[in-house]
Structure 1
């Protein structure tokens, strides 16, 4: 800016005094004065204050307006191995203020995660990056209605980003075409199934029975609809089939060794086994 407070339109003049901007003991930029002649005795004091203000602005509002983030910084935020100081610094560099909550979302979609991030959180701050086989979205707030129809998402609940990321991944495992967006808080006790080792699930007779049913996609879809609705008539409506067609399919499924759908206990076992099978195949 010029001495009269207007924006300078010409090329910059040589800097008479320069002071680095320091954030978390790292130099992230500089502020300077373009004064003709010798520096004023108070120039350095003025620039010290300006550098502090610039560092505070970067810490609070972040360096970028894009939702795309450096995957290394995002991984540092959600990693369970990160210490809190490193996590806090990565969040600041991504543009999240220390007093803002951070929601972690795991997404699976053909769309890039930064585009999804812009839809579920149109205003800043929000950052997104691909990580391993899924996308990660970090946001101060979330609008679940903003998720496109073809996106599966799991939303973590914990205040700690590391724990919230694990919750988001677990919730994503429960996402289906019928219920594509899952909040971890809404899972309740079924979330405990994610803590079971894969080998234990594979050795379970009920899960093995679901594996046999899965060989026929129509049978699997019918079983899933019945487990979801708890009613043959609602399942028929969901599948756009006659009630008699659903009944015949369930009768056929009931002949599979290990699956008994005639009583509530058998239906409960089938539902738990179906969920465990999905977790194995996620």
Structure 2
């Protein structure tokens, strides 16, 4: 590399400077420096104030070449820190006007900062490797492999992780941040369904255009199965369903469609049609006399039983 620098210096002084910047940060990464040391080294190299900020933890390092930076300052160039294709913070320089190599310096600083975050603890990102999430929730995974997958995802061994199955127009990382802003959450797409792994969930935080099935607490494979079941019961009127609220209705999700269609009572009810006055009268009485059961009966049509005047089935 040194020979390349010497050769480039004879051809292009800016190219030589670029190579030296790359070598500088490669050396820092090999030495496994922390974020504070990265900020100090960058300020010395750039000969101006340098800063590093992590969004997830709120950590900020802002350093001048000769020590702590003054309180006031404006970034002349800023670059995002990304990890697993998700922005987790930013790095910047503060000088009157940008210099030609500032962008390259910050690009390398952002890469080094991401490496530090990944090395010294679970990454504070939402998106996760789908294969790792699938390993954590699959019923075929043994306990040791599941525990290791959860550790790699950033969850403590004893953490009560739950699964939420979603269909969302929002990107999963944004949805995870909305639903669980202050606690660990991981998200990944599995087929046509999005998966959220989290330790606590507030159903009221889901946006209205998101369908979500909240799995039951307990072993992750069971939570994943119950989350998918709950997702099938969601409707436009009730886009978020907690599996525990379904009660015995959850059993309907396991009735084969052919068996339901072949049942004479179901066939007779289907023949009436959703607009039949007898069907409407039945549901009106059900809601009036048994509000809880009436609300549950509205969900029956979502799993293929044509019992609701406003079915919202999700295939």
TM-score band w.r.t. shorter chain: 0.5 to 0.7
Distance 2:314 2:270 in 1: 10
SS in structure 2 at match of 1:10: helix
Q: 1:271 to 1:122 in 2, by over 3 A?
A: closer
Partner of 1:158: 217
- Residue 172 (1) aligns with residue 231 (2): yes
**CA deviation after TM superposition for structure 1 residue 179, in Å:** 1.3
How do 1:16-165 and structure 2 match up within 5 A? 58=121, 62=122, 64-165=123-224
**CA deviation after TM superposition for structure 1 residue 197, in Å:** 2.1
Partner of 1:10: 41
Q: Which runs of 5+ in 1 are unaligned?
A: 12-53, 236-266
Which of 251, 259, 262 aligns to 1:192? It is: 251
How do 1:199-214 and structure 2 match up within 5 A? 199-209=258-268, 211-212=270-271
Q: Normalized against structure 1, the TM-score is what?
A: 0.59
CA RMSD of superposed structures (Å): 3.8
Q: 1:109 to 1:206 in 2, by over 3 A?
A: farther
Distance 1:228 1:81 in 2: 45
SS in structure 2 at match of 1:66: coil
Q: 1:139 to 1:281 in 2, by over 3 A?
A: closer
Would the aligned equivalents of 1:107 and 1:172 in 2 still touch at CA under 8 Å? yes
Q: Which runs of 5+ in 2 are unaligned?
A: 1-27, 43-116, 307-312
Distance 1:224 1:116 in 2: 36
**CA deviation after TM superposition for structure 1 residue 271, in Å:** 6.6
SS in structure 1 at match of 2:133: helix
Distance 1:141 1:115 in 2: 16
Would the aligned equivalents of 1:108 and 1:151 in 2 still touch at CA under 8 Å? yes
Partner of 2:87: none
Distance 1:171 1:200 in 2: 21
